[in-house]
Chains A and B, each alone.
Chain A
Amino acid sequence: MKRAAVPLAVLAIIALLLAPLRLNGYAINLLYVTVLSIALAYGWNIISGYAGYFSFGQIAFFGVGAYATALIVVNLHWYWMAAALAGGVLALALAIPLGYVMLRLRGPFFAMGMFGMAQMVRVLVTAVPATGSGSGLFLPPGSGITEVYYWTLAICLGAIALTVWIDRSAFGLRLQALREDEQVAATLGVETTRAKITAFGLSALIPGLLGGGYALFLTYIEPDAVFSSRLDLQSIVMAILGGLGTVWGPLIGGLVMTQISEALWARFPQIYLMIFGGLLVVLLIALPRGIVPALAARFARRSGA
């Protein structure tokens, strides 16, 4: 199984690289949104899956990246990828002091605190005139979906590579230890604050980088579009469904989810949300640890027998 994985991955990447040459507009949009949400799920998985700090506010960094990119492109006329990069760096720069403050909170307090933080950022953006005061900003047309897609794909692959590294590194072990029991980790020599803030920063950098692409994709941004609770929800559900704190959870969860989501959207637009929420509940009861750990357990049992 392990040996088949590498060529399979190479094939998949080649297919993803060639996809824009072959696909029509609808399909490429769908592919973009899929890759985007998987990348967001990987970003969320670091702080929430590996470090165990459930955040309901990482979408704030996505919004910050999107607005920063839009403002830079509109006012300074940078090439958009440079602006998006700056957006990511800004998200990271904001995340470090914010993490220092917010990561003192634990469990539901952190989760809801981050939710409140994201809402405040959204309200502030709406109130500031430079951002178009909630009525939005138009971006100059020109960059096609293909560019946005490649940018997003690159970040998604980068996020996967980063997760593979984390999963095998001392840093990842420290994160998992503090997820299990922060006090014990600290008395075993883990510098928990630093590890948490690093994880939080990475979990902000990824959506921060992705936000700029999304702004270009929409060509017009407003607060509700980029501080999108739907995207946030979707990526969180993907990571949980696939398996929190696992390397392949967000990818597997993401693929399964987009299939289900697309089918539901098309067939039951009226009760889409209802089925979606219900499905999450049922899956959580059936596979409390997600798809990847369930498969791993089954595989281990079979090969052990």
Chain B
Amino acid sequence: MILLQLAINGVLLGGVLALSALGFNIVFGVMRVVNLAHGDFVVLAAVFAAFGFAQFGVNPLLLLPLTIVAGFAAGALIHHVLLRRLPGEVASAEASSLTLTFGLSYFLTGAGLAAFGGRFVSVPYLTGAFRVGEVSVPQARLLAFVVAVVLSLGFALLLRSTALGRAIRATSQNLDGALACGVDVDRVRTLAFAIGTAVATAAGTLMSFLYNLNAQQGVLFTVNAFAVVVIGGLGNYTGAVIGALILGLTESFASYFMGATLAEAAPYLLFILVLLFAPGGLRGRRAA
């Protein structure tokens, strides 16, 4: 029974991790940028939602549209003002985008600490649980999972059936080809980064049901997203969902069987092993 319970917890967590990772993945896929500030967007939204709930009793689900719009606007702005200006030389582009998002990450952490303080907060929302036999399904986790799945499906629909989605996928697969077909790559990149941050802030709002957080925990979510995407294969969207489930299950089982301290190492261990032994992700296809 405990195994089933752990599996359910893992899957529910995996759903939210998948949403967060999709945001990270689109940015990498389109721009080849590892966004080290990704987790900070997640955490900032979570802390913001907790703040709204505690101060004004705003239902975090109502905040969701707001955080999504804010995330989108912030992402578009950051790309337009900063990322776009990085030098394009191949050898240093990677290093400078890492450095830039690294600085951005500290900026956001600092901003979050200044605005919301360092206290760990969460949203005490739907604290009950459904009982099915001996298994309990926490309502908040279930809700977060369902919303995450809905948003992920919306994201998939956007990628599959809109002109923008096609342009994004084309750019992810082959930059030169996309350029040759007249895709406005700069615009696609701006939108991809904006969507990436919007997805991150959406995931963060849901994370506020699941975790006690302060603005300094962003790194955790960057690493999670990176781990998910590495497991699933960079730029591979279905892979990311599978990766998220694997990571969710790993965290759930590890914290039960290994204790909280050692379990903290589990995602790191998992992703280093995948990096070393299956460099293209578990679903094959080597990264170039």
Contacts and interface: CB of A to CB of B under 8 A. Distances in A.
Direct A–B contact present (CB less than 8 angstroms)? yes
Interface of A: 52, 54, 101, 104-105, 107-109, 111-113, 115-117, 119-120, 123-124, 126-127, 134, 179-181, 229, 233, 236-237, 240, 244, 270-281, 284-285, 288-289
Contacts of B165: none
B109 A104 contact: no
8 tightest CB-CB pairs across the interface, nearest first? A274-B110, A273-B110, A277-B106, A277-B107, A280-B103, A116-B268, A108-B34, A123-B265
Contacts of A240: 99
B103 A54 contact: no
B7 to A, nearest CB: 24
A228 B167 CA distance: 42
Contacts of B91: 52, 179-181
Interface of B is mostly: helix
A112 B82 contact: no
B245 to A, nearest CB: 20
A221 to B, nearest CB: 18
A106 to B, nearest CB: 9
B99 A101 contact: no
B176 interface: no
Contact of A124 (B107, B265, B276): B265
B268 A273 contact: no
Contacts of B103: 237, 277-281, 284
Contact of B106 (A107, A119, A276): A276
Given A112-B226, A288-B86, A270 B114 contact: yes
B109 A277 contact: yes
Interface in B204-258: 219, 223, 226-227, 230
Given A240-B99, A285-B85, A288-B87, A278 B107 contact: yes
A116 B102 contact: no
Contacts of A273: 106-107, 109-110, 113
